[in-house]
């Protein structure tokens, strides 16, 4: 009994010593941080939460959506109602696989249309999002049909920051395509491996827009992989046809350009999107007639940016 009490006292004293050391280290780090922030010429650090987890649990990164919670019986009821349609879709997939010859060669300089916005029902395949949807700003946007019968991406861009002490920057609007699926709700992706150019017929307002090609994979580290390119519109009443090589798209993740660049994997494009965020308050309008892809035999560039390898333990290694 006496030995156990001595052992407990020693363990308790060691715990107190460790606690005091941690408090001293915390005070030292706080003083250094205050000194760094005091001098304006000193390098400012970007803080982030402690990486106490190796993986990310949520694909949305903490952004919650107002989805109705369903019981198991409701899930079974909805699934049984969709069973007939899923079987029809599965039958079509089998026919396309076994009765259709595979495409080996693509005709050069011939645009294959992915979306032709001549029908309002096609707008159901896209979603819009802005900073006001998550209480992070005051911008708003919508998708509708223009008087010319084409897709119209319009809204109001506002860089005004909410006074909540949490948001530091705001002012963005975007839309993107929904996840394409096979039968029985299986995730799928666009296979554009035989193409090398993105083609769009647009009529803008003079603003620059960001084109986003998402290639999120199975693992959490690839959920936010996006390749971006800036589309500059002319403005005015005339249409313009933009042909953008896929080699010009630059790799980013969570809105930050990555040191280690690589070419976009064209065989697993999960989403296509357009965003407006040029930090200019006011109305914006972007009209799109079609979005397609084509093979340009005269374009031989694989990737337009440096693909250098850094030393280990330096960046992204």
Q: pLDDT band for 314, please (50, 70, 90 cuts).
A: low
Identify the sign of the CA torsion 126, 121, 111, 142. negative
CA distance 51 to 76: 38
Range of lowest pLDDT (88-92, 113-117, 173-177, 217-221): 217-221
The mean pLDDT of 162-188, rounded to a whole number, is 88
By the 10 Å C-beta count (0-12 exposed, 13-18 middle, 19+ buried), 140 is classed as: middle
Residue with tokens 């198991």: 72
CA distance 220 to 189: 17
Q: pLDDT band for 13, please (50, 70, 90 cuts).
A: very low
Cα 270 to Cα 24, 112, 128, 263: the distances in Å are 49, 18, 16, 15
CA distance 198 to 246: 7
Q: Which of 246, 140, 151 is nearest to 203 (CA)?
A: 151
**Could you read off the pLDDT of 263-302 as tens digits, one per residue?**
899 988 999 999 999 999 999 999 999 999 999 999 989 8
CA distance 205 to 303: 30
Examine the pLDDT at 43 and tell me if it is beyond 60: no
Examine the pLDDT at 221 and tell me if it is beyond 80: no
């Amino acid at each position: 009994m006496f030995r156990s009490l001595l052992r407990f006292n020693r363990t308790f004293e060691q715990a107190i010593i460790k606690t005091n050391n941690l408090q001293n280290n915390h005070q030292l780090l706080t003083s250094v941080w205050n000194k760094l922030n005091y001098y304006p010429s000193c390098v400012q650090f970007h803080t982030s939460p402690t990486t106490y987890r190796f993986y990310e649990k949520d694909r949305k990164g903490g952004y919650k959506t107002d989805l109705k919670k369903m019981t198991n019986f409701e899930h079974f009821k909805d699934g049984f109602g969709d069973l007939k349609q899923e079987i029809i879709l599965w039958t079509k997939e089998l026919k396309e696989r076994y009765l259709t010859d595979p495409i080996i060669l693509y005709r050069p300089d011939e645009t294959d249309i992915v979306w032709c916005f001549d029908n309002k029902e096609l707008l159901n395949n896209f979603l819009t999002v802005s900073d006001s949807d998550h209480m992070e700003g005051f911008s708003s946007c919508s998708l509708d049909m223009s008087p010319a019968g084409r897709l119209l991406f319009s809204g109001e861009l506002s860089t005004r920051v909410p006074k909540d002490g949490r948001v530091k920057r705001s002012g963005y609007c975007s839309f993107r395509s929904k996840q394409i699926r096979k039968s029985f709700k299986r995730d799928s992706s666009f296979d554009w491996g035989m193409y090398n150019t993105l083609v769009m017929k647009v009529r803008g307002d003079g603003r620059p827009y960001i084109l986003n090609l998402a290639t999120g994979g199975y693992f959490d580290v690839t959920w936010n992989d996006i390749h971006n390119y800036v589309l500059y519109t002319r403005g005015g009443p005339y249409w313009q046809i933009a042909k953008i090589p896929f080699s010009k798209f630059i790799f980013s993740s969570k809105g930050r350009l990555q040191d280690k660049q690589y070419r976009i994997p064209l065989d697993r494009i999960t989403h296509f999107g357009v965003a407006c965020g040029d930090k200019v308050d006011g109305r914006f309008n972007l009209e799109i007639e079609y979005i397609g892809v084509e093979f340009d035999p005269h374009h031989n560039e694989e990737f337009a940016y440096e693909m250098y390898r850094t030393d280990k333990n330096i960046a992204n290694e």
